[in-house]
């Protein structure tokens, strides 16, 4: 049995951290669903940037939208929604079979809005309405400014993937925003079943401290942070406040492991996958990591609910001069800036492709 199936049987959802029109058109994504136990999908500006720049699969659609006067951001979201809704339809049987627990796809609001609460909420409402799919998460960064938008979006009934979380504290803040939105729905007599995941980024921790800590601590920080966060996740799910909303009909916000591709070429290509095997979580992984996992025959140990030895490991990083709270804030800020950079590059690709295709039309 493939390790992907073993992980699925354990109770962890495997999502692909990629989407391209070629993946959809070729049937490859459908094959990942049937053969590799993939039950969902995430996207981001970088993924779309690479997909559109390096493929001619979007050219006809871009030409058609140019003929209707579309350009820039508006043109991009038209393209993205076409891909995302096709993927949502592919995963709809999973969504229906699991009664909305699984089978989700994610589309991000413009990262230029990361520090603008009102505009983030308006964009989330617009994208979700345009997609018209129940199994679509709108991704909103869990920044200080993003948290109020997350609460309001949940209250409005919009499923949310909270992204750019880097620590236990980031996760707890996002979980609280979700819970406040659910409690407000209950108080208002609304259905409290609104889907959400909270995405904790893993590998960037280890990339950030490479060369700054002893070799014995190599590639251990991201996993320790994940274990600490998983302990908080399990504690929240078991708390009286959360169990009250579950009793009213709400669903838990699941913890999602993001950025799980191994950055260190000397480490295992499934380092973070095996280390973070845990029931009732999601692991969204790059295509290469998914394929590598399928080639492995075992998983190893399951993540302990009590956090295991994470505090001892984190204490060793503290002795090595790593302040995890400061680094978490830095990583979130850098992540937001990186998304903006990718977004700007994506807009440049849209502009340059549009210009080239206009020339072809004119000739």
In tens, the pLDDT along 151-168 reads 999 999 999 999 999 999
Report the length, in residues, of the chain: 363
Helices (H), the chain: 3-10, 21-26, 28-36, 45-53, 59-67, 72-97, 117-131, 146-155, 168-187, 203-209, 221-237, 240-247, 271-275, 287-294, 310-319, 324-362
Residue with tokens 């700054």: 212
Predicted local confidence at residue 122, as pLDDT? 93
Active site (annotated) includes residue 231: no
Q: Residue 81 has what pLDDT?
A: 97
Tell me what pLDDT residue 300 has. Answer: 77
Q: What is the pLDDT of residues 306-328, one digit of tens each?
A: 999 999 999 999 999 999 999 99
| Angle (nearest 5°) at CA 114 between 252 and 109 | 70
For the question of whether the overall pTM of this predicted structure is more than 0.75, the answer is: yes
Successive 10-residue mean pLDDT values, the chain, 363 residues: 90 96 96 97 92 91 93 94 98 97 96 87 95 97 93 97 98 98 98 98 97 95 98 97 98 97 91 94 96 83 94 98 98 93 93 85 57
pLDDT of residue 357: 86
* pLDDT, position 361: 58
Q: Which of 65, 139, 231, 353 is catalytic?
A: 139
Structural domains of the chain, ranges and CATH numbers in brackets: 3-362 (3.20.20.70)
Q: Quick one: which of 16, 64, 2, 78 has its CA closest to 44?
A: 16
What is the share, in percent, of the chain residues with pLDDT greater than 70? Answer: 99
Q: What is the pLDDT of residue 176?
A: 98
Spatial distance between the Cα atoms of 29 and 82, rounded to a whole number of angstroms: 15
16-69 pLDDT tens trace:
999 999 999 999 999 999 999 999 999 998 899 989 988 899 999 999 999 999
């Amino acid at each position: 049995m493939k390790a992907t199936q073993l992980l699925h049987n354990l109770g962890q959802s495997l999502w692909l951290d990629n989407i391209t029109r070629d993946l959809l058109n070729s049937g490859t994504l459908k094959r990942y669903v049937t053969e590799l136990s993939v039950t969902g999908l995430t996207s981001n500006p970088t993924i779309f940037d690479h997909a559109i720049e390096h493929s001619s699969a979007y050219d006809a659609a871009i030409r058609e939208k140019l003929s209707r006067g579309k350009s820039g951001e508006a043109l991009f979201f038209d393209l993205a929604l076409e891909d995302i809704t096709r993927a949502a339809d592919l995963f709809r049987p999973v969504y229906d079979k699991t009664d909305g627990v699984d089978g989700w796809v994610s589309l991000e609001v413009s990262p230029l809005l990361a520090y603008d609460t009102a505009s983030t909420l308006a964009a989330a409402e617009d994208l979700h309405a345009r997609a018209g799919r129940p199994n679509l998460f709108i991704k909103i960064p869990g920044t200080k400014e993003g948290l109020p938008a997350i609460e309001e979006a949940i209250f409005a009934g919009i499923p949310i993937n909270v992204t750019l979380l880097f620590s236990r504290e980031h996760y707890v803040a996002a979980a609280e925003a979700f819970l406040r939105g659910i409690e407000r729905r209950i108080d208002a007599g609304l259905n409290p079943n609104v889907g959400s995941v909270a995405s904790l980024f893993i590998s960037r921790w280890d990339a950030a401290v490479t060369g700054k800590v002893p070799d014995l601590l190599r590639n251990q920080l991201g996993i320790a942070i994940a274990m600490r966060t998983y302990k908080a996740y399990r504690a929240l799910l078991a708390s009286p406040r959360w169990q009250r909303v579950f009793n009213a009909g709400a669903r838990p916000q699941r913890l999602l492991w993001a950025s799980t591709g191994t950055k260190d070429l000397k480490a295992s290509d499934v380092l973070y996958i095996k280390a973070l095997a845990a029931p009732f979580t999601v692991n969204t992984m790059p295509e290469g990591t998914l394929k590598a996992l399928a080639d492995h025959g075992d998983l190893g140990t399951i993540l302990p609910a009590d956090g295991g030895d994470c505090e001892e490991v984190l204490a060793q990083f503290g002795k090595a001069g790593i302040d995890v709270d400061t680094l978490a804030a830095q990583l979130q800020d850098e992540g937001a800036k990186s998304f903006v950079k990718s977004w700007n590059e994506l807009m440049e690709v849209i502009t340059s492709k549009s210009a080239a295709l206009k020339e072809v039309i004119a000739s």
